[in-house]
Amino acid sequence: MTHDATNNSPQPVVIIGGGLSGLTCARTLQDRGIPFLLLESSPTLGGRVQSDTENGYIFDRGFQVLLTAYPEAQRWLDYEALDLQHFESGAMIRYQGRFYTVNDPFRDFFKSLLQVANPIGSFKDKLLVGKLRLALIQQTESQILNTPQQSTRDYLRGFGFSNAMLERFFEPFFGGVFLEKALNTSARKLQFLFQQFSKGTAALPRLGMGAITQQLAGPLVKSLVKSSEAGSCIRLNARVKTLLPEGIALDSGEFIEASTVILAADGASASGLFPSNPASTALWPPPPYHSATCLYFEVPESPIKKPILALNGDGKGLINNICVPSEVSSNYSQTGRALVSVTVLGNIEVHSSHSSPLAERVIQELTEWFPQIAKPEWRWLKTYAIQHALPEETQTHIQPVQKVSPFENGLTVIPCGDYRDIGSIHGAMRSGRMAGEAVSL
């Protein structure tokens, strides 16, 4: 722990960013008895994992799920208190105007037998899904992350899956997980996430994904309220302008002296904090990010009568996947109407360059997907355009914790975030924990 020589009092570690990485880092420092100052640029904590409650609906800021098998989530979260509501395994896939269901054969063998003849993949493909599950479920994460580096597409082809299975299942399903349908994402991430889907379930907290942030931040807030002598603090609306040898300059003009900084902002933001030191930006090159747009609609009745994901198996149109959160947890809608979440991959500016608004074009596709619901019954509610939704991960690996001195004298910086791990809730939380553990007492 560093000290201020003028008063011999502990100088808090400064955490830049109040997303899952920053909050997990703060919890780790709190457990170690190390004071911290957490600076979050926005009015709320949570980064990308937040929910808004408006007009009787819960809107997650982009379609997200919690995989219950995530080791880091199990370490930090109380699942019982979150009251997790679970998705059915598998997915509904729309192909040539009809819906087909693909289930996990190990969880529902008899249902999977009924799906043998569906056109989503061959009988061999369905056997290979089981083979892949068995191959990965016993692997350790370390073993997975040391497998030969290759793209997800090349890995699945090498495993023997047909082009039909790639196009009709893996592209829409893991394309939605990765936010890129070309499946250029590292096979290591595919293997890890496939393992996590196999070991646990996909779930939503009863009150929305933002409940994860609230639970993670809860002990921090309670501690700060109970003890003003703890030396720790959380500041919202505190945007950092730049890092300097002696500390941190805020947009407001305020300067905060510091000797240790945890850089828990997203990769694109983190790399822009060293304008006076070009050599330092090489330590955090801005990672490319995938974008996504999530649109919410209400309809009188759910177009999907169960808690399952619906995928675009044709590869045509804007929609990649559809979910009805109110079918997973009834708390997502208090209006008696169904809440529908639609994910469109890519930058909203590209989609909005057409003559008709994006929501109108999506509604047109929804009426084709679900002809039983008349077009006027689809009512657009909200759109979240997420430019930095997930880091691009063509070379997925866990970067070792680094204590970097970007200036000749002074400030020590420890970067963390999902872009330094497997891009996921698990990776964000683990990276934050490891950064907190790297701070010297």
pLDDT of residue 268: 82
Residue 196 has pLDDT above 90, yes or no: yes
Start-end of H helices in 200-275:
210-226, 267-270
Segment (H or E) for 281: helix 278-281
Higher-pLDDT residue of 281, 123: 123
Quick one: average pLDDT of 30-56? 96
Mapped onto helix, strand or coil, the DSSP state of residue 93 is: strand
Instruction: Give the residue from 351, 322, 394 showing the smallest Cα distance to 172.
Output: 322
pLDDT of residue 108: 58
Which tokens is 121 given? 């993949």
Residue 283 has pLDDT above 70, yes or no: no
Residue 1 has pLDDT above 50, yes or no: no
Higher-pLDDT residue of 242, 118: 242
Quick one: average pLDDT of 152-164? 96
Residue that the structure tokens 């997990």 belong to: 24
% the chain with pLDDT above 70: 88
Instruction: Give the residue from 289, 323, 51 showing the smallest Cα distance to 180.
Output: 289
pLDDT of residue 349: 64
Residue that the structure tokens 């979050």 belong to: 40
Residue 401 exposed, middle or buried by CB count within 10 Å (0-12, 13-18, 19+): middle
- The 10 Å Cβ neighbour count of residue 98 is 10
For 2-19, what is each residue's pLDDT tens digit?
A: 333 334 455 799 999 999
- Where b means 16+ CB within 10 Å and e means fewer, 46-60 reads bbbbbbeeeeebbbb
Which tokens is 396 given? 């997925």
Quick one: average pLDDT of 154-171? 95
pLDDT of residue 409: 72
Q: Which domains does the chain have, with CATH numbers?
A: 13-48+210-286+399-438 (3.50.50.60), 51-86+204-208+289-391 (3.90.660.20), 91-200 (no CATH)
**300: phi then psi, degrees, rounded to nearest 5:** -60, -40
pLDDT of residue 230: 57
For 202-215, what is each residue's pLDDT tens digit?
A: 999 999 999 999 99
Residue 374 exposed, middle or buried by CB count within 10 Å (0-12, 13-18, 19+): exposed
CA distance 206 to 216: 16
Residue 431 has pLDDT above 80, yes or no: yes
| 8 Å CB contact between 69 and 212 | no
For 106-144, what is each residue's pLDDT tens digit?
A: 555 445 444 555 788 888 888 898 899 999 999 999 999
pLDDT of residue 110: 43
CA distance 192 to 81: 26
